[in-house]
Structure 1
Amino acid sequence: MTNVLGYEPLIDETLNKFVDKIGVRFGGGEVCPADEWIGYCKRLHGNAGLLANVEKVAWDVTANISFGRHYGFIDQEKDVDNLITDSTKGLIYFAPVSQIPWIDHLLDKNPIFRIGPKPTLTGVLYAFKVVAEYQAELEKDKVKAGTVDHTLEKYVQLKKTYPDMVNDVQIVNWLMLSILAGGDTSSATMRATVYYLAKNADAYKKLVAELISAGLTMPAQWKDIRDLPYLDAVIRESMRINPGIAMNFERVAPESGYTLPDGRYIPAGTKVGISPAVTNRNYAIFGEDSDAFRPDRWLRRNDESEEEYQERHKRMHDTCDFVFGGGARICMGRYLAMLEMKKMIATLYATFDLRLVNPKHEWTYRNAWFVYQENMPMIVIRRESST
């Protein structure tokens, strides 16, 4: 976290854009023309635009950190260059193909007629364009020094220092990680947070009360929100009950095989996977009500000692964090994701009141490696104290 905190000013730039846009478009609780915001819906109330922008702000945060510029999703109120659309199509295709690999040879790798999305093409072309434009601006001394060196700037400096090891192709390969996956997982968790808070009045009230009493400056700063217990509980509970990644992280048993802690033996070469969507609802770890959204489970109970609470909390924490993977393949961006999600949710709920148009309304969602949620109509009203 100490390393990624250097990017906080870049996240703040995006959050300011986001709050201003939402305030102007929906801050008075107006009806949102959702066809301008979400292509697959016709007309919904305020949050149709808001939830589309939750995804856009996640992607624009990633872009600002990566390139020192936004994709433009928030400014232009659309999916610029189809980056989100192409990324989503790629994951919808990849989800079944990753489980049934041989069908890829009949579809995307078909030598006669190729069938399948080309999710990397849009991203590759965009990355090459950004790298070329940035280096051209550097040569013409048109680049203005910012308060923070974004990732592209650091990569360009690596290229200058190690020209035999780093070239533009390598830089694009590195940037592709951000372009194709940087916004989906964090936006999924933020959408889940907004939805479950709207469905749980008690949790909503507790979070808002904590944020208001904290006297936050906007956008919310990490130093002011990092120790807020209920904010942390809400984020972790949302990530637990609706993990952004909901398919198996596969490993292959070594040549000697592998013996699990409970004594079961896995033969050599066996593929083993554990889904966070399953482990996050383990009754033995999270309680008999694990299927319910209840942030209070992350807080200390009146009937348990501090030692008992710390032991229980650690088990939940370690299990829930498996959403980010584990071991050598753990997500490199997990601290940046937590920084972004906490700042975003704290800023959003300290600034606006968010309500489902119909409290009984149910969203829809699909698992395509990442979780994609849709249909969350809400009214958005700016809080008087935040004007």
Structure 2
Amino acid sequence: MDFLVHGPLFWAVICAVLCCIAIIIFWELFSPLHAFPGPPAARYTNIWRALVAASGHVDQTNIEWHRTYGSAVRVAPNTISINDPELIRTIYATKNPWPKSDMYRPNDVLINGVRLSNLFNTQDNDWHDTYMNPIRSLWTMTKVLDMESLIDETLNRFTTKLGAKFADVGNKCMMDEWLGYFAWDVMANISFGKHYGFIDEEKDVKNLIVDSTKGLYYFAPISQIPWLDHLLDKNPIKRIGPKPTLTGVNYAIDVVTTYNRVLGTRGDRAENYLDKYVKLKEAHPKIMDDNQVVNYLMLNILAGGDTTSSTMRAVVYYLSKNTSAYRKLISELDAANLSLPAQWKDIRKLTYLDAVIQEALRINPGIAMIFERVAPQSGFTLPDGRFIPGGTAVGINPAVTNRNVDVFGQDADQFNPDRWLKKDEESDEGFRDRCRKMKDVASFVFGGGNRVCMGRNLAILEIYKLFATLYSLFDIELVNNNHAWKYHNAWFVYQYNIPMTVSRRVKA
């Protein structure tokens, strides 16, 4: 017993403990990030934030961390989260942008043993700009409006289905599912000139939504420890776990392969993105081929449906919870006397519709994790004087800046579309400045600088048209106004369990 207590094993344990304590003390005193407070465990391991991401509520946790630790929080051994809206334009610059961190690498797709990046996740800004330039002009609002008739086709199918299946017979509508069907079918129609069939078949066709969701449930925690992806999805022996982008890539490959045979004859219908991308092969032969067309279309498939449906769910949910806002929107739409489906030229200046959608984007951003970038080698000094060394991962979570009370007021945690309206005592100039500042911050959900989401104009068009049309035709309410939805933040924010009643409106 004495040997065990005072022998070599005893002293080995003591030495190991003392070494651990020494390492911790050294790390605390001499770490280049020691000046940044944060959760204690986050100083030593990425496991902590991976577990937080896996919980599905990392946005709320990030908000709480900033309210506890301040404007710059150390969320991992080499990662700083920022809550300073003024730094959005610096970290996410258009000129000399900070590169993306390794967190995006798990979004690569592995095909035939080859790991392929895409426009969303590539860390090479020069590569991104080279392949973005040919299609950049196709995503301006002017070009997106060329396809408004394709959105109208899907809108008509959607409202007809809501009327027949729910409004006319009194069935309960799980609005979370149906808004997903609509968003995905819109994206298919403007991308390929045909619908996936979610609305018509009333289900997730080919498990596209399920597979996409599984991929993001994988991506969210693994992106916090990205080297794990080499052992799981990208290992060369046996791939483990969901394949983050494989379903979307395979679908795009099938569409491009059959394009000339199935979709090449289109009559007088508006051009879709497949048409537009295929034409680019002639104008840009050095970089454009069928593989690149697939690369472009993959982003349409994987990003367009989930992000917009997240905002759509927020609109119907929060309007059902806020009777005053609901009535103001209905009053504005009735006064506008819109032709249906609502046209952009008629709704783009509807003040309260804009306020409702801006507020939904703000309080429930469709993407709500830290957009990580890597600080330049020269490092960066924060406005408060603290220095961030070069190579440090730095980022902002739009869910955090969207609750910034200095920008949005003391009620930043509340759904209040009126914040986007001119106050009685406010000058015109003061209102313009305040509104511009809020929009600059809230629009960060689409990213910033040279990596801003190319589909943001399409998302805005689609969402505004949907709700101008939907609330002109129907009254939509939660089955129980006290009901609370469930949500899971997995990079994209997924909301579930939104049972609603749909009834045809009788205008006064």
Q: Compute the TM-score of the two structures, normalised by the length of structure 1.
A: 0.91
Question: Which position in structure 1 is the counterpart of 2:472?
Answer: 350
Deviations 1:155-175 (A, max 9, x none): 222224555542221211111
Counterparts of 1:148 and 1:376, CA distance in 2: 34
Q: 2:176·2:495 contact (CA, 8 Å) conserved in 1? A: no
Counterparts of 1:109 and 1:350, CA distance in 2: 49
Q: Which of 359, 370, 375 in structure 1 is aligned with 2:492?
A: 370
1:143-158 matches, cutoff 5 A: 143-158=265-280
Counterparts of 1:218 and 1:56, CA distance in 2: 20
1:145 CA displacement: 2.1
Q: 1:29·1:381 contact (CA, 8 Å) conserved in 2? A: no
1:100 CA displacement: 1.3
Deviations 1:319-342 (A, max 9, x none): 101111111111111111101110
- Partner SS state of residue 423, structure 2: coil
The answer on 1:118 being equivalent to 2:226 is no
Q: 1:257·1:266 contact (CA, 8 Å) conserved in 2? A: yes
Question: Which position in structure 1 is the counterpart of 2:437?
Answer: 315
Q: 1:29·1:380 contact (CA, 8 Å) conserved in 2? A: no
Deviations 1:132-180 (A, max 9, x none): 2221247xxx713233111111122222455554222121111101111
Question: Which position in structure 2 is the counterpart of 1:38?
Answer: none
Cα distance change, pair 29–193 in 1 and its aligned pair in 2 (3 A): farther
Q: 2:367·2:493 contact (CA, 8 Å) conserved in 1? A: yes
Counterparts of 2:344 and 2:316, CA distance in 1: 20
Q: Which of 182, 185, 193 in structure 2 is aligned with 1:60?
A: 185
The answer on 1:238 being equivalent to 2:360 is yes
Q: Compute the TM-score of the two structures, normalised by the length of structure 2.
A: 0.70
1:382 CA displacement: 1.2
1:1-387 matches, cutoff 5 A: 1-28=141-168, 30-31=170-171, 45-46=172-173, 48=174, 50-137=175-262, 143-385=265-507
Aligned length: 368
1:229 CA displacement: 0.7
Counterparts of 2:436 and 2:266, CA distance in 1: 45
- Partner SS state of residue 16, structure 1: helix
| Letter paired with 2:219 | F
- Partner SS state of residue 101, structure 1: coil
Counterparts of 2:198 and 2:471, CA distance in 1: 21
- Partner SS state of residue 147, structure 2: helix
Counterparts of 2:235 and 2:295, CA distance in 1: 25
Question: Which position in structure 1 is the counterpart of 2:34?
Answer: none
Cα distance change, pair 309–29 in 1 and its aligned pair in 2 (3 A): farther
Which stretch of structure 1 is more off in the superposition, 187-196 or 249-258?
249-258
Counterparts of 1:128 and 1:298, CA distance in 2: 43
Which stretch of structure 1 is more off in the superposition, 166-175 or 325-334?
166-175
Counterparts of 1:263 and 1:171, CA distance in 2: 46
Counterparts of 1:130 and 1:161, CA distance in 2: 21
- Partner SS state of residue 100, structure 1: coil
Counterparts of 1:352 and 1:82, CA distance in 2: 29
Q: 1:131·1:172 contact (CA, 8 Å) conserved in 2? A: yes
Q: 2:473·2:505 contact (CA, 8 Å) conserved in 1? A: yes
Counterparts of 1:237 and 1:255, CA distance in 2: 37
Deviations 1:265-294 (A, max 9, x none): 221111101101110001111011111100
Which stretch of structure 1 is more off in the superposition, 253-262 or 176-185?
253-262
Which stretch of structure 1 is more off in the superposition, 259-268 or 56-65?
259-268
- Partner SS state of residue 69, structure 1: coil
Deviations 1:359-383 (A, max 9, x none): 1000000100000000111110011
Sequence identity, in percent?
Answer: 62
Counterparts of 1:164 and 1:338, CA distance in 2: 33
Task: Structure 2: give runs of 5+ residues left out of the alignment.
Answer: 1-140
Q: Please tell me the root mean square deviation across aligned C-alpha atoms, in Å.
A: 1.6
Cα distance change, pair 205–262 in 1 and its aligned pair in 2 (3 A): same
Counterparts of 2:157 and 2:382, CA distance in 1: 49
Counterparts of 1:120 and 1:320, CA distance in 2: 28
Counterparts of 1:90 and 1:317, CA distance in 2: 31
Question: Which position in structure 2 is the counterpart of 1:36?
Answer: none
Which stretch of structure 1 is more off in the superposition, 128-137 or 270-279?
128-137
Cα distance change, pair 114–144 in 1 and its aligned pair in 2 (3 A): closer
| Letter paired with 1:307 | E
Cα distance change, pair 312–162 in 1 and its aligned pair in 2 (3 A): closer
Counterparts of 1:279 and 1:29, CA distance in 2: 43
Counterparts of 1:29 and 1:264, CA distance in 2: 62
